[in-house]
């Protein structure tokens, strides 16, 4: 237990010290002059030090009292601000616009922890891979890969993406993949939402001259990842987004030493929402999850 005096006495003393007048403190708190005086005297007995100097009808705060009052004022301001932030979450809807694959593979499995942290927030998740300047539906926060120029927004990176080939264990049992050159014997899975991803990765990995291989293209990246799970070929997978698949054995990394850094995921907040406490809480939670 913290050794604290009466909280009523602390509230009374802070008001009296700030106003340097017992009567005005009583008016602010809605109590009598006598009640203020009794609470101040009780606090002085607890503190064993005078908090006010009384010269006739004049009242002035001692140096010790002024230092203590400043600490109390700061503490009460913090408590009041925390209360407002808490109240603002009640019944509040938070609209999050996130990339489809990121939402399916990373965000949704973690969302129960955010709901537990902010139970008063009604979350609305919208998936879209459109550039933000073309998104018509209003949102409070977005998740995009970058960095990019997002005019009218505040952005902060929170999750680094690293790309490496991934496939199902069953596929490897049928068609081994011991070294990078063996990719030429496999079907490479790619998505229209990530054009040129394999070519960039092969170049960065020093495999620009890899013999031509068969390719299978899908409209969305999450479909390409599912095709990899089902053994249709090898996908170029972002490591943070396939952690659950790796743990469950649905996917494996045949070339774990060939990892190429890709773009980072950013929390992108419209300038109008930059000071919103609920948006700030969501952004902070995202960063905590990525760090964990």
User: Do 177 and 134 lie in a common domain?
Assistant: no
Q: Give the separation between CA 232 and CA 162, rounded to whole angstroms.
A: 22
C-beta of residue 163 within 8 angstroms of C-beta of residue 241: no
Question: What number of other Cβ atoms are within 10 A of residue 190's Cβ?
Answer: 20
The model's pTM is 0.65
The answer to whether residue 108 scores a pLDDT higher than 80 is yes
> Domain range holding 191?
161-262
Q: Which of 62, 89, 116 is the last residue of a domain?
A: 89
Phi, psi angle pair for 175, to nearest 5°: -140, 100
Task: Say how many CA atoms lie within 13 Å of 257 toward its Cβ.
Answer: 4
Domain assignment present for 2? no
The per-residue pLDDT for 78 is 84
Q: Decide if 273 contacts 197 (C-beta within 8 A).
A: no
Together in a domain, 106 and 228: no
Residues 152 and 237 in one domain: no
Does a cis peptide bond (omega within 30 degrees of 0) precede residue 153? Answer: no
Q: How far apart are CA 267 and CA 274, in angstroms?
A: 11
Report the Cα 29 to chain-centroid distance in Å. 39
**Residue among 82, 85, 65 nearest 16 (CA):** 65
- Tell me how far apart the alpha carbons of residues 91 and 94 are, in angstroms, rounded to a whole number: 10
Q: What is the pLDDT of residue 260?
A: 86
Secondary element (H or E) of residue 146? strand 141-146
Tell me how far apart the alpha carbons of residues 248 and 256 are, in angstroms, rounded to a whole number. 17
Residue 121 lies in a domain: yes
Domain count, the chain: 3
Using CA of residue 144, residue 150, residue 154, residue 158, what is the dihedral sign? Answer: positive
| pLDDT number for residue 87 | 63
Beta pairing, strands 188-191 & 58-61: unpaired
Please indicate, yes or no, whether residues 155 and 268 belong to a single structural domain of this protein: yes
Indicate whether 169 and 121 sit together in one domain.
no
Q: Are residues 71 and 131 in the same domain?
A: no
Q: What CA–CA distance (Å, rounded) separates 95 from 114?
A: 14
Q: Using DSSP, state whether 116 is helix, strand or coil.
A: helix
For residue 1, being part of any structural domain is answered with: no
Q: How far apart are CA 124 and CA 33, in angstroms?
A: 52
| Distance (Å, whole) CA 18 – CA 3 | 24
Reported confidence tier of residue 164, pLDDT bands at 50, 70, 90: very high
Please report the pLDDT score of residue 207 as a whole number. Answer: 81
pLDDT at residue 7 tops 70: yes
Q: Are residues 171 and 111 in the same domain?
A: no
Please check whether residue 174 lies inside any domain of the structure.
yes
Are residues 142 and 271 part of one domain? yes
Residue 292 corresponds to which tokens in the numbers above?
């964990």
Sign of the Cα torsion 36, 41, 42, 47 reads positive
* pLDDT in the model for residue 120: 84
pLDDT band for 133, please (50, 70, 90 cuts). confident
pLDDT above 70: percentage of residues in the chain: 96
Question: 134 falls in which pLDDT band (50, 70, 90)?
Answer: confident
Q: Would the pLDDT of 2 be above 90?
A: no
Long-range (24+ apart) CB contacts under 8 A made by 4-8 are 5/42, 5/43, 5/46, 5/47, 6/39, 6/42, 6/43, 6/46, 8/39
Q: Which among 118, 116, 93, 108 has a CA at the least distance from the CA of 143? A: 108
List the single range of 5-9, 24-28, 78-82 with lowest mean pLDDT: 78-82
CATH number of the domain bearing residue 175: 3.40.190.10
DSSP state of 211: P
Tell whether 131 and 243 lie within a shared domain: no
Q: How far apart are the first and last CA of the chain?
A: 32
The helix (run of H) or strand (run of E) holding residue 248 is helix 243-248
Query: In this predicted structure, what is the pLDDT of residue 91?
Result: 58
């Amino acid at each position: 237990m913290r050794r604290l005096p009466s909280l009523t006495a602390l509230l009374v003393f802070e008001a009296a010290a700030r106003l340097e007048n017992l009567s005005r403190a009583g008016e602010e708190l809605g109590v009598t002059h006598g009640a203020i005086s009794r609470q101040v005297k009780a606090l002085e007995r607890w503190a064993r030090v005078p908090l006010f100097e009384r010269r006739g009808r004049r009242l002035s705060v001692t140096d010790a009292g002024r230092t203590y009052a400043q600490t109390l004022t700061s503490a009460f301001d913090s408590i009041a601000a925390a209360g407002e932030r808490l109240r603002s979450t009640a019944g509040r809807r938070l609209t999050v616009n996130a990339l489809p694959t990121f939402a399916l593979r990373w965000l949704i499995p973690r969302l129960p922890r955010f709901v537990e942290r902010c139970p008063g927030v009604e979350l609305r998740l919208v998936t879209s891979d459109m550039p933000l300047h073309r998104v018509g539906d209003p949102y409070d926060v977005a998740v995009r890969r970058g960095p990019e120029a997002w005019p009218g927004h505040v952005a902060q990176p929170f999750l680094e993406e690293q790309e490496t080939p991934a496939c199902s264990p069953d596929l490897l049992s049928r068609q081994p993949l011991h070294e990078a050159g063996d990719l030429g014997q496999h079907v490479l899975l790619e998505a229209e939402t990530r054009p040129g991803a394999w070519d960039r990765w092969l170049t960065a990995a020093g495999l620009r001259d890899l013999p031509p291989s068969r390719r299978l293209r899908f409209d969305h990246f999450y479909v390409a990842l599912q095709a990899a799970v089902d053994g249709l070929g090898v996908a170029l997978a972002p490591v943070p987004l396939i952690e659950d698949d790796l743990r469950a054995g649905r996917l494996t990394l045949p070339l774990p030493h060939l990892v190429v850094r890709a773009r980072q995921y950013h929390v992108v907040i419209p300038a109008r929402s930059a000071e919103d406490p609920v948006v700030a809480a969501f952004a902070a939670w995202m960063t905590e999850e990525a760090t964990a």
